[in-house]
Amino acid sequence: MYLADGQSFAVTGEGYAPIGEIYANGTPVVRGQHSGLDRLARAAVLCSEADLHQREHQWVWRGDPTEIALLTFGHKLGWHREAALELFPLVGMIPFEPEQRYSASFHLWSAAVGESQPVEKGGIVTPADPHWLIVVKGAPERILPMCPALDQTQRRSLLAAAETLAASGYRVLAFAEGIVPAEDGGVPKAIETHHPLTFLGYVGMIDPLRPGVKQAVEQCRSAGIMVCMVTGDHPTTALAIARELGLAERPEQVITGSELERLPAEQLPLLLQTVRVFARVTPKQKLLIVEAAKAAGHYVAVTGDGANDAPALRAANIGIAMGASGTDVAREAAELVISDDNFATIVAGVEEGRVAYDNVRKVVYLLISTGAAEILLVALAVAAGLPLPLLPVQLLWLNLVTNGIQDVALAFEPNEGGVLRRKPRPPHEPLLNRLMLERTLLAASVMTAIGFFAFWHMLHLGWSEKSARNGLLMLMVLFENVHIGNCRSETKSAFVLSPLRSPILLLGTITAFLVHLFSLYWPPLQRVLQTEPLGLRTWVLLVFLALSIIVVMELHKWWWRWRHPDTV
């Protein structure tokens, strides 16, 4: 707290529960000990729409977090909103608007509190004593001009004090009050020049960074996500917080709403290359910033909690509303709601989203490459005049049973690590991009070529069609079991990813192999699938052939990492 006479006070306690003390130079202060501090506390509880009260030995609150914090300050000096409103009944309010950057409340006033009683006339409350107590709170640069009693020296001193508080990361609210004659037309829509006010002081509030937020900002930077702060706070306060977050370091990286007004619209997209903090901005300007970022080719996510944030939330590619503190309007305008109001949760969601997208690609890669190999194998055999290499029931067995078990297990592959160190993919990039197409065609071609050669060779050795098909079916199952290791990462070697880190996939692969192995020896399945046991030499040959797929794909991964190091 910083009063008009230059005295400062410290407030202890955390959260909204009014537990703590107010100190002046290390000495506790109580109500009535300092008139200026009492008037500031009274103003803090009167000019508010929040509620703070005790219910069943617990403190409960409702309303804007800033106003709840002000009620907490008032409680610590014995000023309770309900009691204060009994002494100074509310006549009306001027709500806070980002464009005007202040709010005000009007109360019935009497020189001797209690002598003047409100009188009801036509549903409108009017005071018997025709004077109002006006209480105003808002940005220092808006409140100080409303106080004509301050000379230029005092104004400069008070502005410097506000800058000092803001540089320490405090959100600074200025308070003023005045007693004016009541107006017949009711409460005005704005504070006019004929409402001379007396400056009371500043209240500085700081919201400590949540654990993990600074790390989350750094993770965004590593992930190629540009984070900008768009706030209504003082630019000095915003820069102090941005420095603590590692978001900005220099004043040139901060721009205010008034500076944006003077900036040509076509320069705003270029400004986003250097500016990281937008301070004292209006909801309209926030919308313009979002539109400029989209015009610059960015994929934009916007967070917000108030009704004024709704236009920007709707305009963004992804609107993210706060679930705990957000308004219904903000939640309705957003595509995503964060239940704990934590920025780190958004970054964790980005990470999980990338992992989920990776797993979709892995499953698609496995399905298409093995499916294409089967189709090409049948087509090539028919074109070469060979018997059908795989019966329809065997193809169904491959796709629905052995491959099906592995596909489901692969979808649960955990984070392979480093997903937040990759650049964002282009929003319109297809699922089957160049890398996927290359890998799919290469893997399918290798399995097709080796499978066709094996089938032809077995027939050439005099094997029956049934035995050759049985051997080829086993080879395709082994291909699937080995190839799934290739599918676990698009860039990392299969040998650096331990099978134990994905127990579901390990279990699925073993299960798929054992199910097919069971089909080689169980008569009912032998009759359906036309299978039979294999000899040891055949097993060795088939395993050797199946391992070729991992050798080829490892070479391709190495080549890709060499050609595209930025994707690793």
**Digit-coded pLDDT (tens) for 464-521:** 999 999 999 999 999 999 999 999 998 899 999 999 999 999 999 999 999 999 999 9
For residue 553, pLDDT over 60 is answered with yes
User: Looking at residues 541-564, what average pLDDT do you find?
Assistant: 93
Distance, CA of 245 to CA of 343 (rounded, Å): 12
**What's at 208, amino acid-wise?**
P
Residue 54 three-state SS: strand
DSSP summary character for residue 425 = P
Share of the chain above pLDDT 70, in %: 96
User: Looking at residues 171-180, what average pLDDT do you find?
Assistant: 93
pLDDT at 485: 93
25 contacts 8 by C-beta, under 8 angstroms: no
Strand-strand pairing, 58-62 and 90-94: unpaired
Distances in Å between the alpha carbon of 182 and those of 20, 43, 120, 195, 553?
A: 38, 19, 15, 11, 84
User: Looking at residues 302-321, what average pLDDT do you find?
Assistant: 93
Number of residues in the chain = 568
Q: How confident is the model at residue 418 (pLDDT cuts 50, 70, 90)?
A: confident
Q: How confident is the model at residue 292 (pLDDT cuts 50, 70, 90)?
A: very high
For residue 16, pLDDT over 70 is answered with yes
Q: Which is nearest to 447 in space by CA: 425, 486, 401, 480? A: 480
User: Looking at residues 426-452, what average pLDDT do you find?
Assistant: 93
Distance, CA of 555 to CA of 118 (rounded, Å): 87
For residue 450, pLDDT over 90 is answered with yes
pLDDT at 116: 37
pLDDT at 527: 94
For residue 98, pLDDT over 90 is answered with no
Pick 129 or 274 by higher pLDDT: 274
Strand-strand pairing, 254-256 and 277-279: parallel
Q: How confident is the model at residue 103 (pLDDT cuts 50, 70, 90)?
A: very high
Pick 483 or 111 by higher pLDDT: 483
pLDDT at 54: 81
DSSP summary character for residue 263 = S
For residue 436, pLDDT over 80 is answered with yes
pLDDT at 460: 95
For the chain, the average pLDDT equals: 89
458 contacts 389 by C-beta, under 8 angstroms: no
For residue 129, pLDDT over 70 is answered with no
Distances in Å between the alpha carbon of 216 and those of 207, 212, 213?
A: 17, 6, 5
pLDDT at 126: 43
pLDDT at 70: 93
Distance, CA of 162 to CA of 204 (rounded, Å): 9
For residue 206, pLDDT over 50 is answered with yes
Pick 142 or 566 by higher pLDDT: 142
Torsion of CA 225, 229, 230, 234, to 10 degrees: -170
pLDDT at 568: 58
Q: Go through the domains of the chain in sequence order and give each one's CATH number.
A: 2-205 (3.40.1110.10), 213-345 (3.40.50.1000), 353-567 (1.20.1110.10)
User: Looking at residues 403-418, what average pLDDT do you find?
Assistant: 90
pLDDT at 121: 35
Distances in Å between the alpha carbon of 306 and those of 288, 302, 347, 352?
A: 17, 12, 21, 27
Pick 98 or 358 by higher pLDDT: 358
For residue 229, pLDDT over 70 is answered with yes
93 contacts 138 by C-beta, under 8 angstroms: no
Q: How confident is the model at residue 122 (pLDDT cuts 50, 70, 90)?
A: very low
What is the rounded radius of gyration, in angstroms, for the C-alpha atoms of the chain? Answer: 35
User: Looking at residues 313-319, what average pLDDT do you find?
Assistant: 96
Distance, CA of 109 to CA of 134 (rounded, Å): 9
Strand partners, 136: 104, 176
Burial state string for 75-113 with b = 16 or more CB within 10 A and e = fewer than 16: bbbebebeebbebbbbbebbebebebbbbbbbbbbbeee
For residue 220, pLDDT over 50 is answered with yes
Two tokens at 282?
Answer: 């209006």
For residue 316, pLDDT over 80 is answered with yes
For residue 51, pLDDT over 60 is answered with yes
